[in-house]
Amino acid sequence: MSGPGFKKAGDNLFKIALLPGDGIGPEIVAEAVKVLQAVGKRYGHQMEFEEGLIGGAALDQGGEGLPRETLELCRQSDAVLMGAVGGPKWDHLPGSKRPEAALLGIRKGLGLFANLRPARVFPALTGASSLKREVVDGIDLVVVRELTGGIYFGQPKGREGDRAVDTMAYSIPEIERIARVAFELAMKRQGRVTSVDKANVLETSRLWREVVLRIKDEYPKVRLEHMYVDNCAMQLIRNPRQFDVILTGNMFGDILSDEAAMLTGSLGMLPSASLGEGTLGLYEPVHGSAPDITGKGTANPLATILSAAMLLRYSLDLEDEGAKVEWAVGTVLDQGYRTPDIAEEGCVPVGTKEMGDLIVRAIQS
């Protein structure tokens, strides 16, 4: 990719930072580690893992949601695998002190500007979606969300008397680099980019559209269309198979990626990658810390395992190994094994550790 780079294959020693976080985070990260170890053993790679604190776990131990030591550990690693942060225990804290603030901090600290959120429906799970099978069958799209600009970071922001202000701002370089990520990704997929904005109303979106059109000239083989965000939200429900790569800004991407996620039937199935200019990336499941099921051994580890597959592909340049993990997930689902969140009639119910063991066994087979 232009923008996010890749570690060159041939170096068989990889250092991975683990940030289990809060709630079910430690449970699901443990299963992804088992899978990465199995991949390393099968393909002859040495994986070294080192844990760091983040979120509520870090607050409880040292009073900071993102300790300096954690950030340094991540910078010295080839990739970062994270679980989840937050929970009701810390909900009383002000926004800047809550565990979730660590997410913004680590993205900024590592220079991660591109968030990739794939939404793919495994054939065995087409019945799990709330939409008709014929609508969701064959969905395979990726939302490319700009991660460090837009309304979440624009200045000024705050309150003055009876008014609250948030500012949406984008610069040309910010748009250029995220657009190149989307076009490069499309070149490896079906060759289609849908750029989503609100150019009929917002000046930032007009600039966004101008820059994306110019970057498109660098990728003559990619087909580009523009779509307003409200229409895109509707089209994701009406005809989601029309999309390949959806390119959009921070807030629009936050909303649309969650909508696309639910097409697949469960948040427990959705991975994500946050990438920067180099090969270092942060990989995490889309779902939260799920405090209601923490410690019960029923959490679905597949989103974290699929995030590990993205880690292999994007940060370590191990395409075959990443594809093998995805194949293993599909195989286990085809065999009927299900955690409670994706359970259906006639399935074989399993827990968190059992699901991880099944994926490992498939990789070893």
Task: Note whether 87 and 251 are within 8 A (CB).
Answer: no
Helices 352-364, 319-334: axis angle to 10 degrees equals 120
CA–CA distance, 282 with 81 (Å, rounded to integer):
6
- Catalytic residue IDs: 152, 198, 230, 254, 258
φ, ψ at 4 (rounded to 5°): -60, 130
Task: Note whether 120 and 143 are within 8 A (CB).
Answer: no
Task: Note whether 302 and 268 are within 8 A (CB).
Answer: yes
Stated length of the chain: 365
**Which of 286, 280, 290 is CA-nearest to residue 263?**
286
Task: Note whether 285 and 304 are within 8 A (CB).
Answer: yes
**Which of 45, 26, 29 is CA-nearest to residue 37?**
45
**Which of 326, 333, 321, 286 is CA-nearest to residue 305?**
326
**In the structure encoding, which two tokens stand for residue 133, read together?**
């099978």
Contacts for 68 with CB less than 8 Å, ≥ 6 apart: none
